[in-house]
A and B are shown apart, each in its own frame.
Chain A
Amino acid sequence: MKVSYLNDEFFSRLETLALNLRTNLAGFFGGKHLVRTYGQTVEFADYREYMLGDDIRRIDWNLYSRFEKYFLKLFTDERQMHVQIFLDCSASMEKGNPNKAAYAIAVAAALGFLAVHNMDKVSFNLMKGNRSENNLGTIVGKTSFFRAIGELQNAEFSDETDLAAAITGTETGTNDGLSVIISDFFTESEWQKAVDYLTYKKRQVLLVQVLSPDEVDPTYSGRVHMIDSESADVSDPKNMKLRITAGMQMAYAEAMKDLIEGLKSFCISRGAQFISVTCDRAIEKVLFGELFKVGIMG
């Protein structure tokens, strides 16, 4: 039986959190996405000197009285952002622990909810193999969102995913929103290229690493023949026989730490954000706690 966090209670909590924090929300999900181009919003941006042909209604007379020169007020423009959520649907996201897949879906859904709540567009790209599938299209508004969520829960997790190929092969807008990559990042594929691609597209990038408790702190030991969920068969080189001792566990922890640190440092270097969550923690706490930390919410 599939585990799912996406229930009414879940969204109700999200709604409450979003409403309570609306006035105080900053960051991407915290308000209007004001861009640096000048537009017709009411938000003052800057002054410039009057030039022949400008709209005289925009002349700031206070400045004229002061400087006896004509200056125009400039206001920021406002656009509708597009939140692209890339969900890794490889076998490692589920086979190890069903909670992990449901958790990842829940994280995707939560982020999508926040997007539509913010009047932004959202799309769910399910990464399978070396491509992304977006059968739900671009979602605007809560009605279509909830309809899409039902489909999202049925996502299948199998095989391997080439993050770089899947993401770079997807059409993304330029400078129009946030791209979220939800994965465990247990992959040989060069996901760094995906991040680079997205940053090249002037999108904000958020990497969400979803891990199961077993993956963070494996409790098994002794002689273990580990069958990788993404392996083709028992003889697949991904599988490995290992005698897990205390020392081995320490080495694992060190490797995991280095993996996460590696992800983090890469993201910092690219101006992306990175959070790592385990699926045994409450999503709300993780989302709002971690998202606050990285500034997606401020």
Chain B
Amino acid sequence: MIGLANLLGLLGLLGILGLIIIYIIKPNYQQKFVSSTYVWKLSLKYRKRKINVNKLMNLLLIICQVLILISCALILAQPIIRAQQPPDIDEKIIIIEASGNMLATDGLGGEADVEGGTRFLRATQAAVQTVNETFDNDENGLITIIMAGRTPEVLQFESGVNAAGQPQYTKIQRLGIADKDNIIATLTGLKNSYCTLGSADMEQAMRYADPVLEENPEAKVILYSATEYINEISENSFVDVRADELRLDTEWNAAILDGKSTINSHFVYSFDLEIGLYNYDSDIEVMVQIYGANAADDSEASADDKNGYDLTYTLKTPSLSAYNQPNGQTVTITLDTFSEALKSDGILCVSDKPFYKDDGGEFDGVLTYKSVRVSLSHVGNRNPSTDSLYQDNEFYFYDGQRTQLKVVYESDRSNPFMRSILYAWQSALTNKWDVIIKEVTKNDDVVTEGYDLYIFEGQKLPRGDLPSDGAIILVSPEISALTSVGINTLTSVEIPASDTVWCSVAEHPLSEHLIHAENYVAHDFMQASNYDKEYEVFLNYHHSNGGTEETIPMIFAKNKAEPLGKVMYTGLHMNYTDFAMYTDMSLMFLDVFNWFFPVAVEEHIYEIGEQIVINSFAREIKLKGDDIDTKITEFPHIEVAERTGRYTLTETLLSNKEVETSYYVKMSARESNIWREENELTEPNFKSKYGDEDKDLLVYFAAALVALLFAEWFLHSRNQF
């Protein structure tokens, strides 16, 4: 700031400056009468080249002197560069959390889709009020609204159409009073359906606030969230969390957070259930309904046993104290369907059929089931349907049933290696498939129908075409051709023992575990040549006698969802190769099985927001749920779990048998916690374009003054010569 004395000094210097300028502009010339200026005029020529420099030096000198005066004046003025100040306006950044817990109702059984019916709607109302207050306080105020859902975004409204007739949208980012009506209309138009049942990405939401804060670091960030953030909020926190405005004391929630089914030591199913209670003290009664327990398979079904048993169990949690407790209370309860355990645990079972054993005795336990529904039946003396979130009051299990897959192994040679592979399939795939194996030996008739997977080895081959109702694996088939599957020439080959032999792999899903390929040795095999281009070779056999080298495709396969479309060929004779000695072979065949028969989904329980990878061994798979009914023809297909509910995938085997797979999408367990308290809130991270401190220029001008004084001295000394 310039003080009075400095101001006067500045004015004085400026006055002197003015005088000097006047003096400089109008230089005094002494009049002198001379006899003649003739010689002076002549001398100009000699001096001409130096006069320009003189003029320049004079000019420089003048400039120097002027600058010196200015420097002196500025030093007296104590100049500073004021840090650029952000605009002085009332600006708000409103972030509305749009996650699952924001759908919490009042806990009194009130409607969700009425005004203020959920936290989310209360948040939008509060946001409207904030917008009105902002513009009432300051006509130049600015508003930004960020919706923090699973995929955060800046809220926008339709502002018109473009030339092509497509709607145009305006983001509510630093909008002023001119857009007030649009902002309010957009906020009031938000419904509960906007919210995800998953968790909000608060970090990304804050990133949307960063550019606004860069423009105006004074902007206030208001977060409408029901989560209490404690401890880590610093005094300088940018974010004003308005949880108190959204939470109601009457809110409460009982939830089935998660479930897991296991086959226990008694070889029957047991179900672990994680139950949560929030802002209420009570025990919780949980009902477990098992459908199709121990249902018989189709081939052995009787009229009575075909669909299995529907069982209903009731469990009770211990008393939970969660009233006004941050993050409520959770407990895990277990339903062990082993009959003796049920009796001792005092778990009530209500069923339309008594416990029984196969021999007519008591029911041992649930060995298989079609589905399990878990639901909350009572929460103390309250109906669970009156809790704040209903979406987490149910839970489903779908992994109690495996699809039966029938495999026939037909060989004229006793091959323990292949047999071990088959039994390895059974155990390795027990969670996904019920693999039924039949073995056809040398003296048995060749089986050509009724199976999902045929393995033909050696001479055990059908006389005519190969079966078309299942996948086919050919192991060293001793035949001249298999034209029905596109292998047109087969030749028995014997490689001299003196030849060097090895194998190599080609990149293929089935060659992943063939890590010892270069060590495989074989001298007798069936060479397939002239086969369809659809086949993909993934193991090549090489032999060399020191001179020429020959490469023979040894294992190839094709995988099309059509009759005779799923075929794998290997020319290796299991008795004449060490390939069978490596675990590579077992793993390869397991890969072949999974390749031919991928499971539709890997899991049966998904959470909102998770990716569901859908595969099929068929040409298409039908997906059906509460809000979807579609066919999927391209695989793998990735579906993102957006809504809770039950979904069923239906596909048809080559044998025309329909296979159903179901899965359940549940609400995020984190969002069931409606009384959430967290330690850390992601804060905006921005670099303000405004400086923090004023910059003092005194030193710079002092340095300039010294330099100018030196320059003036220098110019003066030069000017004398």
Contacts and interface: CB of A to CB of B under 8 A. Distances in A.
Interface of A: 91-97, 100, 184, 186-188, 212, 214-215, 218, 220, 222-230, 238-243, 245-248, 250-252, 254-256, 258-259
Given A223-B28, A247-B50, A255 B33 contact: no
A242 B35 contact: no
B35 A229 contact: yes
B42 A255 contact: yes
Interface of B: 27-47, 50, 54, 719-721
A265 B687 CA distance: 83
A161 to B, nearest CB: 11
Contact of B43 (A96, A223, A251): A251
A251 B47 contact: yes
A239 B40 CA distance: 10
A230 B44 CA distance: 20
B30 A225 contact: yes
A220 B36 contact: no
Top 9 A-B pairs ranked by shortest CB distance? A96-B35, A186-B36, A255-B43, A251-B47, A186-B38, A251-B46, A255-B42, A225-B29, A251-B43
Contacts of A220: 30, 32
B42 A229 contact: no
A188 B38 contact: yes
Contact of A240 (B37, B46, B54, B720): B37
B35 A184 contact: yes
B39 A226 contact: no
Contacts of A187: 38
B37 A223 contact: no
A225 B39 contact: no
B358 to A, nearest CB: 129
Given A225-B29, A247-B47, A252 B35 contact: no
Contact of A247 (B36, B37, B54): B54
A20 B72 CA distance: 78
B54 A226 contact: no
A248 B43 contact: yes
Contacts of A95: 33, 35
A236 to B, nearest CB: 10
Contacts of B36: 92, 96, 184, 186, 215, 228-230
B169 to A, nearest CB: 74
Nearest to B50: A247
Nearest to B27: A223
25 contacts: A92-B35, A96-B35, A96-B36, A100-B35, A212-B35, A215-B35, A215-B36, A218-B34, A220-B30, A220-B32, A225-B29, A226-B34, A227-B34, A229-B35, A229-B36, A240-B37, A241-B29, A247-B721, A251-B43, A251-B50, A254-B46, A255-B43, A255-B45, A256-B43, A258-B42
Contact of B721 (A212, A229, A246): A246
A251 B44 contact: yes
A282 B28 CA distance: 39
A130 B30 CA distance: 33
Contact of B34 (A94, A96, A188, A245): A96
A100 B615 CA distance: 124
Nearest to B42: A255
Contacts of A247: 47, 50, 54, 721
Nearest to A160: B36
A132 B29 CA distance: 38
A48 to B, nearest CB: 54
B720 A246 contact: yes
A240 B40 contact: yes
Given A240-B41, A248-B43, A229 B30 contact: no
A227 B43 contact: no
Contacts of B37: 226, 228, 238-240
Contacts of B720: 245-246
A254 B47 CA distance: 10
Contacts of A259: 39, 42
Contacts of B54: 243, 245, 247
B32 A224 contact: yes
B35 to A, nearest CB: 2
A95 B33 CA distance: 8
A254 B30 CA distance: 24
Contacts of B39: 186, 215, 252, 255-256, 259
Nearest to A231: B37
Contacts of A229: 33-36
A248 B33 contact: no
Given A256-B39, A259-B39, A223 B29 contact: yes
Contact of B32 (A226, A245, A246): A226
Most buried by B among A94, A227, A248, A256: A248
Given A240-B40, A252-B39, A258-B42, A225 B32 contact: yes
B52 to A, nearest CB: 12
A215 B37 CA distance: 10
A93 B35 contact: yes
A215 B40 CA distance: 10
A252 B38 contact: no
Given A212-B35, A228-B37, 9 more contacts: A220-B30, A222-B30, A224-B30, A225-B32, A227-B31, A227-B34, A229-B35, A230-B36, A242-B40
Nearest to A249: B43
Contacts of A252: 39-40, 43
Contacts of A238: 37
A86 to B, nearest CB: 18
A255 B46 contact: yes
Nearest to A252: B43
Contacts of B46: 250-251, 254-255
A212 B33 CA distance: 14
Nearest to B45: A255
Contacts of B47: 247-248, 251
Nearest to B46: A251
B276 to A, nearest CB: 98
A94 B29 CA distance: 24
A187 B34 CA distance: 14
Contacts of B30: 220, 222-225
A129 to B, nearest CB: 16
B721 A226 contact: no
Most buried by B among A94, A212, A214, A254: A254
Nearest to B28: A223
Contacts of A227: 31-34
B27 to A, nearest CB: 6
Contacts of B27: 223
A186 B32 CA distance: 17
